[in-house]
Amino acid sequence: MWSASQKNLELITTAEVFLQPLYGGNYTKDTLNGLRYKRFVKSAAFAKIDPARLPQTEDGATFHAYRTYHQVQKWLGVELNGIEENPTGAHSNNNDERSGTPPAS
């Protein structure tokens, strides 16, 4: 049986491996944050940056993976307990402090 942290780590890793090729990356060499930076630098050269066209950050991909996992479990009829429904371990009190990454300044 997997522990919650092992399941979360595998979920996050799988999501990153899936998303990296979508943005032209190689999961053995690139990170999502690195791909985002490369895409930003390339588009900054043209003086018009469309943030919607940048790859997700690693934190964004993590939460996307959690939401996707939760939705699939609901479709399958699997009832999750409170900790599994919120894999970050944070309480559901509308607190937006979810990421360890500070906001851009």
Domain range annotation of the chain = 4-85
pLDDT digits (tens, 9 = 90+) for 3-47: 566 677 888 888 888 888 877 877 778 788 888 888 888 877 777
* Contact in structure between 18 and 28 (CB atoms under 8 Å): no
Q: Are 58 and 33 in contact (CB under 8 A)?
A: yes
**pLDDT, tens digit, for every residue of 34-87?**
888 888 888 777 777 777 777 778 888 888 888 888 888 888 888 776 554 455
d(CA 72, CA 76): 6
Q: What is the pTM of this model?
A: 0.55
